[in-house]
Structure 1
């Protein structure tokens, strides 16, 4: 005859497996439902993101352009062409813009001006030869005249033999 302890042990194991199976079935069913709900929510979120992107593009109105917020484009060749069209030297063109002639040469070679300088360049871009000449004359009138200072004659040094 079988040992009563081994019979009880096998019966307890069988009942435990049965209980676990019934609990696992309900957990598997709940887990499956949660996964399908999560997938549906992900699809909905993606659809809403697409709607936001498309509505943002369609209804995006350009903000009122103020003088500071305008994004200026810069082309080095454009500066050179405009300066030559006005018939000005780099120093004169620089005086109109408010920078040195050397800076104009740098811009024509490809260096990019700062934002404040871009605004000054944009202001000068719309003028013609006559207005450029008038502005240069006005700048020359405003500039303080420097007195001519003669350099003292260099002393002659005796030659060494």
Structure 2
């Protein structure tokens, strides 16, 4: 038979593990994000160093500007003009939804995602996958009639 002290110790340990689980998960996510950022910075640094070596050799070719590390530019798509990028932002999604007069559910049907995704994107809690951003931006640029036709077509 276990004593009261043993039961209390096991319960305290269980609660401590439960409380630490969320913190450890957050730390792991931060670590992964930082490792990805470090990797991108190393690549960028390598490109800058190779350009520096070319300049040191007296290469007449002008150096290309290195791609700066920016979470917004990774989700960008070209809009046709060189050097200009169309970027997905939560504010842009909110503005376009208001312009179209759509609910989050209607916007979700237009973009072929869940209403929860729309809510998370608008609140800034998440962002769409980079592969989906061009399609989303294209649909956000539609006029009200075209968008409404697509939404009713999806239903």
Question: What TM bracket, shorter-length normalisation?
Answer: 0.3 to 0.5
Question: TM-score scaled by structure 2?
Answer: 0.47
In our comparison, the structure showing a higher alpha carbon Rg is: 1
